[in-house]
Amino acid sequence: MHGRALPPGVAASLTLLRVRGIPVRLHVTLLLALPLFAYLMAAAYFTPAGAAPDAQAWAWGALLAVGLFASVLLHELAHSLAALRFGVAVRDITLLPVGGVSAFRRMPREPAAELWITFVGPLTNLVLAAPLLAAWALGLVPDAGWSRFVEWLGWTNLSLGLFNLLLPAFPMDGGRLVRALLARRMGLARATHVAAGIGRGVALLLGLGALLLGNLLLVLVAIFVFSGASAEEHATVLVEALAAYRAGDLAARIEPLEPDAAARDAIARMRAERRLALPVARDGRPVGFARLEALAHAPPGSPVEAHVAAAPVVPADLPASQAAETISQERSPALVVDAQGRLAGVLTGEDLERAAAIEEILSPPTAPRT
């Protein structure tokens, strides 16, 4: 899976390695899931019925578990390297128990790029499956253990490829292909709504089916897809709705504090205006933010300057959708908007959400359909 918006909780990860500058992360839950997978596979494929897995079975199980996640990693690397070729910056790749996620800094707007970036992931698994299954079917692997390993890895890659390609569950690959095809007819925002709706429906059916089959992992995949569909839908619609705006258009013009203002006066103003932070500017030039939390612990007479927190500064002519990305990347609640060295205002995620909501309500219901 790949996208710009990630389901919550993907932050708790350890960086394993870097490929072409892209950090490959292991989600902490995978450290628990890997031994579990190893056990399940040791018991299912390398242990006689009724017995407990011995050391050798455990070793094969561990190898299969690593093989599975290596296959998932190659799938994600294919997405990410294709993205780089199309000039899309890749933030990171995260491996989770339910699969992998390639996080891009922006999504390609050209449908052809989106189609190709999406297609190469499942294609990689299909290309891996072919020689593995051929080697197994032709009996080219003499050792019984290795033969079973090669067979299992081959079938796994075949199912990974087909599952991702054919399941129309946005934001999984099949759903992205559906959206790219719909986008040609109805525009990206409408196509995303439709694809996300289909994705949630398919995820619901998948989850119900998995529950009936007792497949817990597939239930988790369904939940992951369901929440991913809404997150990605929201991110895309935000970018589309903000297309006409620049950071300066949406920034709130708030009278800044002078650096030498006393903490007590700044607190009084924050209380009166019900603000958690105010911009600080020296002679009109932005310096940063003073936050109520920092000032509350300061000596009342000390200057605001001593408690200023640096804030991300963006130019007023920056497209608003990129300002939204800066807010999420910097994990900052607000941006200082700078117009040629002068404080133009303060931009928060809420300002952007509100502008996007207004555009969505006022935009015509659908683009022309053919």
- Which residues of the chain form contacts with Zn ion (CB under 5 A)? 121, 173
**Nearer of residues 177 and 182 to Zn ion, judged by Cβ:** 177
Distance CA 256, CA 309 (A): 14
**At closest approach, how far in Å is the CB of 75 from Zn ion?**
6
66 three-class SS: helix
**Nearer of residues 121 and 279 to Zn ion, judged by Cβ:** 121
**At closest approach, how far in Å is the CB of 94 from Zn ion?**
13
**At closest approach, how far in Å is the CB of 182 from Zn ion?**
18
**At closest approach, how far in Å is the CB of 27 from Zn ion?**
16
**At closest approach, how far in Å is the CB of 1 from Zn ion?**
5
**Nearer of residues 77 and 347 to Zn ion, judged by Cβ:** 77
For 158, residues 6+ apart whose C-beta sits below 8 A from its C-beta are 125, 126, 129, 133
For 73, residues 6+ apart whose C-beta sits below 8 A from its C-beta are 24, 93, 95, 100
**At closest approach, how far in Å is the CB of 100 from Zn ion?**
7
**At closest approach, how far in Å is the CB of 313 from Zn ion?**
36
**At closest approach, how far in Å is the CB of 226 from Zn ion?**
17
**Nearer of residues 120 and 238 to Zn ion, judged by Cβ:** 120
**Nearer of residues 173 and 338 to Zn ion, judged by Cβ:** 173
8-state DSSP, 367: -
By Cβ distance, which residue is nearest to Zn ion?
121
Q: How far is CA 272 from each of CA 112, 267, 268, rounded to the nearest angstrom?
A: 53, 9, 6
Three-state secondary structure readout of 114-136: HHHHHHHHHHHHHHHHHHHHHHH
**Nearer of residues 73 and 327 to Zn ion, judged by Cβ:** 73
**At closest approach, how far in Å is the CB of 164 from Zn ion?**
5
For 143, residues 6+ apart whose C-beta sits below 8 A from its C-beta are none
**Nearer of residues 77 and 287 to Zn ion, judged by Cβ:** 77
Burial status of residue 348 (CB atoms within 10 A of its CB: 0-12, 13-18, 19 or more): middle
Q: Which token pair is 86?
A: 């199309």
CB atoms near residue 222 (< 10 Å): 24
**Nearer of residues 121 and 345 to Zn ion, judged by Cβ:** 121
**At closest approach, how far in Å is the CB of 157 from Zn ion?**
13
Phi (first) and psi of residue 104, to 5 degrees: -100, 155
CB 187 within 8 Å of CB 367: yes
CB 64 within 8 Å of CB 41: yes
8-state DSSP, 90: E
**Nearer of residues 164 and 236 to Zn ion, judged by Cβ:** 164
* Helix locations, 214-348, DSSP H: 216-241, 247-250, 263-273, 292-296, 320-330
CB atoms near residue 214 (< 10 Å): 8
Distance CA 76, CA 235 (A): 21
**Nearer of residues 176 and 246 to Zn ion, judged by Cβ:** 176
- The candidate with the shortest Cα–Cα distance to 336, out of 291, 296, 281, is 281
Burial status of residue 45 (CB atoms within 10 A of its CB: 0-12, 13-18, 19 or more): middle
Q: Which token pair is 77?
A: 């690397």
